[in-house]
Structure 1
């Protein structure tokens, strides 16, 4: 299974080359139709391969992975062509299809999709082939790609390049990840309840703050989330053109890339403020109370946020350094401002990854609470009535054996 999808994704290389060199595609609507045909092709190849199997209980997501892996290779080709590493593969697409992919943000999005997302697809394909769960990787990927689309699509629509027909090719990359994320969240495994969870006690805010002294790791994460929420406010006000000297100074001296006219950094900062900030406050409230993060749904959302934060910061930092960004908008040259830039952005990149791991370690190993057939059987075998029944069976068998020997 994995091999078929992997080989299908590599078709992106000859297809893009032949389309660029053998056909004159100048109409955006024609490019859209060709793109749709290519996506159908890479979906049908795995489908017909699976149909030949005697037993077909394949996860439907397997067919969608054909589309995503193919697009990842296409995006890697676009990124490499933007940086001049290769040539004559996607020139027609960048010229007439999605010219906004030539921007620094578009290039970094393509690098992330062509490398990070592609690696996630291969991991999920391997898990499907071995009948293993891809839930953790799936949630991380869903957070990453949904966030990517939340910034990329609105930024492209309101940006200087305008709307073209080809933008509708992004629809599957919005709808499918949402369905996958919802499906994975609904199939959440059950965990053992901690003793603290079973014996909940009402505590006031003062006692919770005092209790933080004995939980330094939780206190550090609370400090991070409050700092991140404050930074989201500063960045949002800065990109919205606030006249406050603090926000103007931050925009001019620390992160001038946020003033880029592509509008991608503006969308990124608004996503941080309207979507990430409620998550920061939510996690802060949970961390204040002992053992509150020992819940499976907290782990799920920490995983989704970690994926989103990784994609956001990779693209933001990369775009701030990329040569396609005007020199005046790149990372500041002043040692002080440059240090502040790296501290803020690396903190927003790294800490969510550590928090995801921290939450995962706080919960007990996965144990189904519900009575499955196996657990019911084990419980029945350990009951006193079952032990008495086994003793009677052994006693009856012994008597029957003695009677048989006596008759002989």
Structure 2
């Protein structure tokens, strides 16, 4: 398999810029149904063109086509965010009016930035890996966590927030973004894991080290304890807890949690119901050797936390958020430090598991003599 299919996918993703400008200036694109039909037609035509351009170098991995289409929509999202922030004009005005108007919110703009940059790089990386026959399991798991986190918060927040009355037929275009990642995630999880080579002796030695001899793991456990408390605090605030410290926090530290768009509140609830169990499992995995599931779960949640923190922090400070709900200047440094630690800690945990996985591998005999003893 040659790189031709990958190059075709990259060029087609860039075609999102002229295509969006062309559709924006077509007459008659002024109703929700027409916008929905135009969006669906573009995606179908894109798949067909990609299939034809790939020619003899057509990849056997069906996820190639998923990532290629999603890379196209990533460029569309970048165009949306740039236009909403006033950097460009005349590309996606029709879609903002009759397609997905909730993307005009601060949260919508930030997730479009994330999709148009981080997700776009991840798509191109996985497309390149497929065409070259490389393993992309780790990148795929990180992408899966990031995408699912953004979708859960966006769809729930849009449905119950102030944009609930502005849902258009184009909202249905999110269905492939829900179904395809589930299918893709199943295939990625089922693919072989690529691990650094380690002998049985090295694994056994790593798993017999006491916690005090693993200072990095101790630091990660401190981070997890902080993350649990921080997640609980903001989850209680999102649930309108009447305790004094919750009232003080939401008014003096993070008033964005009171924004009627509901995205920040939904984000905190998602964190409390999904991230809290992960933090608890991660603590267990750092204490008890042989928890091989740590190698996958930390990647998924690292992607989820990175996306959530980028969108939440960015929206808290964005001009589209009413001044009333933005982080107060006197609390800005504390807010940024806490959220940076919350995001970076998860990335370091995933990196630790990926680079030095010996502690998390299943127990093995230390040498061939022990193997013989067990056999006899």
Q: Please classify the TM superposition score into its range, dividing by the shorter chain length.
A: 0.7 to 0.9
The reply on whether 1:26 has 2:33 as its aligned counterpart is no
Deviations 1:326-363 (A, max 9, x none): 112212211xx223211210011111111111111222
Output the CA distance in 2 between the equivalents of 1:238 and 1:255: 10
Identify the residue that residue 47 of structure 1 maps to in structure 2: 51
Output the CA distance in 2 between the equivalents of 1:80 and 1:344: 28
1:8-407 pair list within 5 angstroms: 8-50=12-54, 52-53=55-56, 58-162=60-164, 163-189=167-193, 194=200, 211-289=210-288, 291-293=289-291, 295=292, 297-334=293-330, 337-364=331-358
Output the CA distance in 2 between the equivalents of 1:341 and 1:72: 29
Q: Shift of residue 30 of structure 1?
A: 1.8
- Do 2:68 and 2:127's aligned partners in 1 also have CA atoms closer than 8 Å? no
Identify the residue that residue 371 of structure 2 maps to in structure 1: none
Q: Shift of residue 215 of structure 1?
A: 2.4
Q: 1:179 to 1:133 in 2, by over 3 A?
A: same
Structure 1 or 2, whichever has the larger Rg, is 1
Q: Shift of residue 152 of structure 1?
A: 0.7
Q: 1:264 to 1:194 in 2, by over 3 A?
A: farther
Task: Please list every run of at least 4 consecutive aligned residues from structure 1 whose deviation after the TM superposition is greater than 3 angstroms.
Answer: 190-199
Q: Shift of residue 301 of structure 1?
A: 1.0
Identify the residue that residue 387 of structure 1 maps to in structure 2: none
Identify the residue that residue 379 of structure 1 maps to in structure 2: none
SS at 1:161 equivalent? helix
Output the CA distance in 1 between the equivalents of 2:88 and 2:138: 35
Q: 1:190 to 1:111 in 2, by over 3 A?
A: closer
Count of aligned pairs: 352
Deviations 1:241-286 (A, max 9, x none): 1111111111111111111111110111011100000000001112
- Of residues 6, 29, 48, the one that matches 2:10 is 6
- Do 2:156 and 2:266's aligned partners in 1 also have CA atoms closer than 8 Å? yes
SS at 1:25 equivalent? coil
Q: 1:362 to 1:236 in 2, by over 3 A?
A: same
Output the CA distance in 1 between the equivalents of 2:297 and 2:53: 35
Output the CA distance in 1 between the equivalents of 2:270 and 2:16: 32
Q: 1:56 to 1:235 in 2, by over 3 A?
A: same
Q: 1:363 to 1:96 in 2, by over 3 A?
A: same
Q: Shift of residue 214 of structure 1?
A: 2.7
- Do 1:9 and 1:42's aligned partners in 2 also have CA atoms closer than 8 Å? no
Q: Shift of residue 193 of structure 1?
A: 7.7
Output the CA distance in 1 between the equivalents of 2:132 and 2:275: 35
TM-score by length of 1: 0.81
Output the CA distance in 1 between the equivalents of 2:348 and 2:157: 29
Q: Greater shift after overlay, 3-12 or 138-147? A: 3-12
Q: Shift of residue 198 of structure 1?
A: 7.0
Q: Shift of residue 89 of structure 1?
A: 0.9
Output the CA distance in 1 between the equivalents of 2:128 and 2:58: 17
Q: Shift of residue 216 of structure 1?
A: 2.2
Deviations 1:361-402 (A, max 9, x none): 22259x9xxxxxxxxxxxxxxxxxxxxxxxxxxxxxxxxxxx
Q: 1:189 to 1:18 in 2, by over 3 A?
A: closer
Gaps of 5+ in 1: 368-408
Q: 1:284 to 1:70 in 2, by over 3 A?
A: same
SS at 1:133 equivalent? coil
- Do 1:26 and 1:96's aligned partners in 2 also have CA atoms closer than 8 Å? yes
Q: Shift of residue 195 of structure 1?
A: 5.3
